[in-house]
Amino acid sequence: MARLEKERKRMWVPSLAGAALLICLSYSARGGTSHWTPPDMVDIPKGEFVMGSSPFELERISSEAPQHRVLIKPFRMSRYLVTFADWDECLADGGCNGYKPADAGWGRGDRPVMNVSWNDAQSYIAWLNSKVLGRPSTGSGDGPYRLPTEAEWEYAARAGTTTRYYWGNDIGMGNADCDGCSTQWDGDRTAPAAAFHPNPWGVVGMAGNVQQWTADCWNDDYSDAPEDGTKARTTGNCGRHVVRGGSWRDNPGNLRSAYRDWFGTARRETYIGFRVASDASPSSR
């Protein structure tokens, strides 16, 4: 936890100079709890990118096609995966439906929370939003915090790159936590959330460690995908939700920026976690 806390302290001033500080101060002024820790959020700029993988990308799977251009509005993404420390703060405050995910004996604190379903992630988001709103929240759509859409996730992961990974076309050594990433945690357990270098936009851990829930229902490919960065249309199977990023137990091919998979909405595993997003502050739109 010390490393993550050091990183958070180092970035405290710039991160809270934006919307997160305004949210926290506004809530405190209404008599809310002022000691909760808002997520460290990164401003993701508006832009356009090609989503999916080309027919020539190594280890490509059919669900990553067809490639298509997507326009993205500015939004915010949490710098780190949600950690056990974040979750346990929610739990201690009476949130997260009283659910305490198991840590498999690997430790809590600064490790990414795991054994959390898509529904569990919504309960955490509801707690975050309740802290902002000063009243109970239903989760995403009722407050600033939510899960990122699948398009937002890939856009933020790529951070302007077009390579297989946001650091290049080869997995390299020590860039992420996977089964074959050349780290001390490979194929064995999660790594601390701040263990790796950020991508070009300052987001940490968008590949490996734990797979990350997104807002989208699963569709088998991008044949009818929206081109404005919003959630996939509900023609998909909403008993399944998209996960991105690969995990500590996956091979390097599953850490590619284009890779996508799904799990049932109630699935809990040691290799599934999440991060949060929010809409951009009005001044940055």
The whole-angstrom separation of Cα 194 and Cα 7 is: 8
Q: Tell me: the pLDDT tens digits for 179-227? A: 999 999 999 999 999 999 999 999 999 999 999 999 999 999 999 899 9
Range with the poorest average pLDDT among 31-40, 137-146, 186-195, 231-240: 31-40
**Integer CA distances (angstroms), 246 to 190, 260, 262, in order:** 12, 8, 11
Mean pLDDT value across residues 225-244: 87
Q: Looking at the predicted structure, is the pLDDT value of residue 278 above 60?
A: yes
The whole-angstrom separation of Cα 71 and Cα 152 is: 10
Q: Tell me: the pLDDT tens digits for 99-150? A: 999 999 999 999 999 999 999 999 999 999 999 999 999 888 899 999 999 9
| 159 vs 231, more confident | 159
Average pLDDT over the chain reads 89
Range with the poorest average pLDDT among 44-53, 100-109, 205-214, 233-242: 233-242
DSSP-derived letter for residue 200 is T
3-state secondary structure at position 20? helix
The whole-angstrom separation of Cα 42 and Cα 203 is: 7
Is residue 175 within 8 Å of 183, Cβ to Cβ? Answer: no
The pLDDT, as a whole number, for residue 220 is 93
Q: Which fold has domain 2-284?
A: paralog of FGE (formylglycine-generating enzyme) (3.90.1580)
Mean pLDDT value across residues 23-27: 38
Mean pLDDT value across residues 59-70: 97
Exposure string of 116-149, with b = 16+ CB inside 10 Å and e = fewer, is bbbbbbbbbbbbbbbbbbeeebebbebbbbbbbb
pTM beyond 0.85: the answer is: yes
Q: Looking at the predicted structure, is the pLDDT value of residue 23 above 50?
A: no
Give start and end residues of each alpha helix (H) in the chain: 2-10, 12-16, 19-29, 84-92, 118-133, 150-158
Which of the four pLDDT bands, split at 50, 70 and 90, describes residue 285?
A: low
* SS3 letters across 48-63: EEEECCCCCCCCCCHH
Q: Looking at the predicted structure, is the pLDDT value of residue 156 above 90?
A: yes
| 13 vs 91, more confident | 91
Mean pLDDT value across residues 256-274: 98
The pLDDT, as a whole number, for residue 232 is 85
Q: In the chain, where are the structural domains located?
A: 2-284
Is residue 111 within 8 Å of 273, Cβ to Cβ? Answer: no
**Integer CA distances (angstroms), 40 to 12, 15, 120, 178, 264, in order:** 8, 6, 20, 25, 28
